[in-house]
Amino acid sequence: MREAHALERQVGIDHYVSDGPGVGGRLRADPADFRVRELEILDPEPLDADVGSYPVLLVRATLTGWDTNDFAGALSDAMGISRERVSWAGTKDKRAVTTQLFSIRDAEAADLPDLSGVNIEPVGRLGRDLEFGDLAGNAFEIRISDPERPEAVEDVTADLRAFGNGSVAVPNVFGHQRFGSQRPVTHEVGLCVVREEWREAVLAYAGNPAETEPERTQEARETVDAVAASADPDWQAALDAMPGHLGYERSMLHTLVENGGSDPEDFRAALETVPWNLQRLFVNAAQSYAFNQILSERLRRGLPFDRPVAGDVVCFSDADAPEGLSLPDTDRLQRVDEGRVDVVTRHCERGRAFVTAPLVGTETELADGEPGEIERDVLADLGLSPDDFDLPGNFDSSGTRRAILVEANLTVERDPLTLSFSLPRGSYATAVLREYLKVDPRNL
């Protein structure tokens, strides 16, 4: 079994499914090399629908070289409205050409501005704002520049078909970017939070320098670590050393200066100065890291991903998924005992059921048998249990389960080398790309 890149092992991904070398090369030499289109599930009312009943304008925007958050800000500024009136279903990468839906509350199609690198198409009207996850998935068309071994694409595809029992499929891991592309520490912070080690959580975020960071940033983080290690910490010195563009780190340190930074609650208060969604991301990253480790151990033991063994917990497919896309519904779970393995296996073969692993939280029920043994062993190694996720404020998480296999519906073009595939929402394109390129995950 081929060992994963060292940086992937830092986030719980230990192996590749495909044994041979990758094609190499690079991505995103041009934004047009990486195209992403949302697979839509909404059925909006017509544009001339009554605005009293349907006050939200739905638009489809194709963005070239735009971060989703930056575009939402530019759109609201150009329309002279509050940023809070703009919503979207999924966040996309800046270095790409992306097509996705946005909703704009209390707006008309005639109000839409012209923005550079943007094409906006009015779609219809809704009675509510878009919410995160209001999509079935994403379709990708990705061109690989300067592949070193383009012929390797055939062997990788064959390995992935064997893994998916006839379909090109990969472990449904959380990609490297889930944990911080250049400095993967969000799961380290999250693990400290779940253990209620508030001081260690702040230091993992504000200190803890990475070689990939600018020299000045590394020096600032080294200062934080040195201050924290002293007998009488001077948090003002740490704050003074932190560059202005590291606003979240400065907010944490400012709170320590104000509160004294000597009590665990001072550090919890410091961590709570960051936005609520980042607080949740810390815990989500810890859950994702444990999930990746569970999948790595299942792969190491040779347990199947495309079908259950006794003790597994499966979920069933979403009946409302678009044609050609299997969408797991993790609200519909069933435990598989020895007598049901064959029946559920047939459901999995038809795309009607999916083996799952936990994103552990307070309400997560762990599997039985060998799958449950793996889940419990990983959590024990991390010093975690479901009850530990009963946390204050935005750190609390009830958990869920997630499909462990994702089919890519992949096609390959050879000249230029281009991978086209679709994935359900929540799955990472890098889970597929890492198998084909086998390069530093920061370059995916």
The structural domains of the chain, with segments of one domain joined by +, span 6-32+138-172+408-443, 42-134, 186-274, 282-403
Residue 117: its pLDDT value, please? 95
Q: Kindly list the catalytic residues.
A: 93
Tell me whether domains 186-274 and 282-403 share a fold: no
Determine the pLDDT at residue 321: 73
pLDDT digit string, tens, across residues 278-332: 999 999 999 999 999 999 999 999 999 999 999 999 999 987 777 767 789 999 9
The confidence score (pLDDT) of residue 7 equals 92
| pLDDT of the residue at 8 | 95
> How far is 328 from 13, CA to CA, in rounded Å?
22
**Average pLDDT of the segment spanning 371-400:** 96
Question: pLDDT tens digits for 61-82?
Answer: 999 999 998 999 999 999 999 9
For range 131-159, the mean pLDDT: 95
Q: Is the pLDDT of residue 90 over 80?
A: yes
- Please report where in the chains the tokens 């990758």 appear, as a residue: 22
Task: State whether CATH 1.10.1510.30 applies to domain 186-274.
Answer: yes
**Cα 144 from Cα 5, distance rounded (Å):** 19
Q: What is the pLDDT of residue 319?
A: 77
* Range 420-428 average pLDDT: 94
Q: Please state, in angstroms and as integers, the Cα–Cα distance from residue 231 to each residue in 203, 235, 253, following that order.
A: 16, 12, 17
E-state strands within 47-148: 56-64, 86-88, 97-105, 118-126, 137-143
Per-residue pLDDT, 303: 98
Model confidence band, residue 343 (pLDDT cutoffs 50, 70, 90): very high
Query: Angle 429-437/152-163 helices, nearest 10 degrees?
Result: 130
CATH topology of domain 42-134: Alpha-Beta Plaits (3.30.70)
Q: What is the pLDDT of residue 327?
A: 86
Helix count (H) and strand count (E) of the chain? 13, 14
CA distances from 121 to 58, 72, 109 (A): 9, 15, 9
Report how far apart, in Å, the C-alpha atoms of 53 and of each of 45, 50, 232 are.
10, 6, 61
pLDDT of residue 93: 84
**Residue 266 pLDDT exceeds 90:** yes
pLDDT for res 71: 95
Quote the pLDDT of residue 444: 87
Share of the chain above pLDDT 70, in %: 100
Look at residue 185 in the predicted model and tell me its pLDDT: 95
pLDDT at 357 over 80: yes
CATH 3.40.50.720 describes domain 282-403: no
- Check residue 403 and give its pLDDT: 97
Per-residue pLDDT tens digits for 98-139: 999 999 999 999 999 999 999 999 999 999 999 998 999 999
Query: Which pLDDT score, from 0 to 100, does residue 297 have?
Result: 98
Q: How far apart are CA 202 and CA 8, in angstroms?
A: 23
| Rounded CA separation 314/336 (Å) | 7
**Average pLDDT estimate for 370-399:** 96
Q: Band of the pLDDT at 199, cuts 50, 70, 90?
A: very high
Identify the burial level of 148 via C-beta atoms within 10 angstroms of its C-beta, where 0-12 means exposed, 13-18 middle and 19 or more buried: middle
**What average pLDDT does the segment 234-260 reach?**
96
Nearest to 360 by CA among 292, 287, 294, 295: 287
